[in-house]
Structure 1
Amino acid sequence: MASLASLLARAGVRGRAAILDGGLGQLIADELPDADISDGLWACGVAIRSPETIKRVHRQYLDAGADIITTATYQASERGYIVAGMATDSAEADDLMAAALNLAVEARSEYLAQQPGTLRRPLIAASLGSIGATLGNSSEYTGDYGRHIAVADIQEFHLQRFHMLARCLEVPKLCGQIDLVAIETVPSLVEAAAIVDALCQLEQHGVALPPAWISFTASSEGQIAHGEAIADAARAVAASPSVCATGINCVPQHYVPGLLTHLRRATSMPIICYPNCQTWTGSVEGWANKDGQATPVEFAYNARLWVQAGAMVVGGCCRTTPAHIRALAETIQSMEISVSV
């Protein structure tokens, strides 16, 4: 399996931290109020109903300087597409996921066509959320899935979706186009272990996926959302040869310094860091301190500190925009770090 550092080097990122893109689903909700997200699939649904909208956002992040863009597949699952009335069976669900993945591929191709002679080839990460992200009840922020979802159910969910992604990547237009798998907003040690087990089963059956990162949401500077230590979570995912990096996402920025400290002490794996631009309450009230969204300049300043604390990849999650990523890129591109391939 290729290391993250070698992938970044082939993408033209050398001697500095890599720039990840920013928010997608929340960005659409904030800036495109007429976009239909009522099916609970957020950007994943918009990718089907209004593909040009998603491709335009991908391009905005590439133009802003992102070295990695994430696909509009965070909520994608066979059951999710079927419940939303978009698919009637697994084959149709596969087609929908493949179409969403291809929007990022097309955006990158169009970007590169307008950058003749560039040494940069931005990477594409297939975004997959936790099982909670598909339940529509914000449980990805707590890991409390209730008695009706057992550990075996969590593992089976991820295994089925990994197979779904693998089938999509066999489509001719997607072969060799997806560089990474981003397994995001994981709230608990139980789910992390289930993901690792599912990846292991996939490997045992000879099913190949691109290298994956697993990132956690958190409830404090030392704990992931369900309460387990972030250090234990990092060690759990490091046990998988399919995982090339770990980190944090969808967390308040004031948690980041402590979380990075614990991660750096617990693992030698590359660390990925993409927090929110504002604090999410995890409830129907939504965002705390609605006037407290970090400006692009403030976000970029903080990101410099995250790189100094050991993050190899930095970007944004909810409430970040292309403007935040542009400011971040301008700041980080002037910083040098030591990266071993």
Structure 2
Amino acid sequence: MGPIEARMSDFLGEHGGVAVIDGGLATELERHGADLNDPLWSAKCLLTSPHLIRTVHLDYLEAGADIIITASYQATIQGFEVKGFSQDESENLLRKCVEIAREARDIYYSRSCESASDYTGDGRILKHRSIMVAASVGSYGAYLADGSEYSGCYGDAMDMEFLKTFHRRRVKVLADSGPDLIAFETVPNKLEAQAFVQLLEEEDINIPAWLSFNSKDGVNVVSGDSLSECVAIAESCKKIVAVGINCTPPRFIRDLILSIKKVTDKPILIYPNSGESYDADRKEWVVSSFFSKR
């Protein structure tokens, strides 16, 4: 086991083999009053209300989350430039995503130290539980804000070099901003998974990463690509230390886990949605026909 793989192994070991990932960021931001009707989605709050992002991170830490995911899922250099920001300003906004999450962790630790329950009888402070900050990298479809991360259909953008060029600088900036790992999330097709793995190998990135796919049939990823083939891509890369499923109806999760376990021994991560489907035209989640019939 290499040093990058050992980081995740040690982290999970401290948590008894199981770590808790936080929950939906955008849902909680909206609960706090944020208006996310924007192509930047939750990343809009970086511009308008960064304190809300910090508040949601803290809420999840206080609820017991061991891993908090940054507000960078839909934050891209290209997306910020469309809003009129320069490349330098856009990169600083990416760094800010990680900075806010790290600040939330520091605040949580500080509050823990002030609690009498965190002291031993001789006045020594008990060791904090380990908390990881995961820098989120959404798919190209998330940038398009047209729902294509739930189909994997990118049209003319279905090209390896195009995807690597699109993601390269963003991944490097986030990796250099001080997170504990990179979370490649809602990956809808095999090609983009390959692009992410190649970027990890080509760039000087020395922190762990995970790959998380989504499925709408409980068998394949949303593009129709084989889940087993996608997981095999993760299995081939030592810098990928976990692989799993996100933004997928709960009813599919058990079978998907069993499929993943046939291909890899890496830790499996699961963070499903609540069962709705995304309506790209209405820009909202709607109850699927499966649930409406029950």
Give 1:110 shift.
0.6
Query: Counterparts of 2:199 and 2:5 in 1: how far apart (Å)?
Result: 20
5+ residue gaps in structure 2?
114-125
Give 1:216 shift.
0.0
CA change 1:209–1:82 in 2 (3 A) is farther
Higher relative contact order (CA 8 A, sep 6+): 1
CA RMSD of aligned residues (A): 2.0
Are the counterparts in 2 of residues 219 and 226 from structure 1 also a CA contact under 8 Å?
no
Deviation by residue 1:202-246 (Cα, 9 ceiling, x = unmatched): 1xxxx1242000000112121001111211110012111211110
Deviation by residue 1:55-80 (Cα, 9 ceiling, x = unmatched): 00000000000011101111121111
Are the counterparts in 2 of residues 211 and 242 from structure 1 also a CA contact under 8 Å?
yes
Aligned position for 1:2: 5
- Give the counterpart letter for 2:147 in structure 1: S
Name whichever of 107-116 and 52-61 sits farther off. Answer: 107-116
TM-score for the superposition, normalised by structure 1: 0.75
Matched ranges for 1:151-300 at <5 A: 151-167=160-176, 169=177, 174=178, 178-202=179-203, 207-284=204-281, 286-288=285-287
Give 1:148 shift.
4.7
Q: Name the SS for the 1:213 alignment partner.
A: strand
Give 1:48 shift.
2.7
Give 1:158 shift.
2.1
- Give the counterpart letter for 1:144 in structure 2: C
Are the counterparts in 1 of residues 141 and 152 from structure 2 also a CA contact under 8 Å?
yes
5+ residue gaps in structure 1?
294-341
CA change 1:209–1:45 in 2 (3 A) is farther
Matched ranges for 1:15-94 at <5 A: 15-29=16-30, 31-32=31-32, 34-85=33-84, 87-88=85-86, 90-94=87-91
Query: Counterparts of 1:96 and 1:153 in 2: how far apart (Å)?
Result: 23
- Give the counterpart letter for 1:98 in structure 2: R
Runs of 4+ in 1 over 6 A off after TM superposition: none
Give 1:251 shift.
0.3
Give 1:149 shift.
4.8
CA change 1:181–1:106 in 2 (3 A) is same
State the identity as a percent.
33
Q: Name the SS for the 2:155 alignment partner.
A: coil
Query: Counterparts of 1:158 and 1:82 in 2: how far apart (Å)?
Result: 14
Are the counterparts in 2 of residues 279 and 288 from structure 1 also a CA contact under 8 Å?
yes
- Give the counterpart letter for 1:21 in structure 2: D
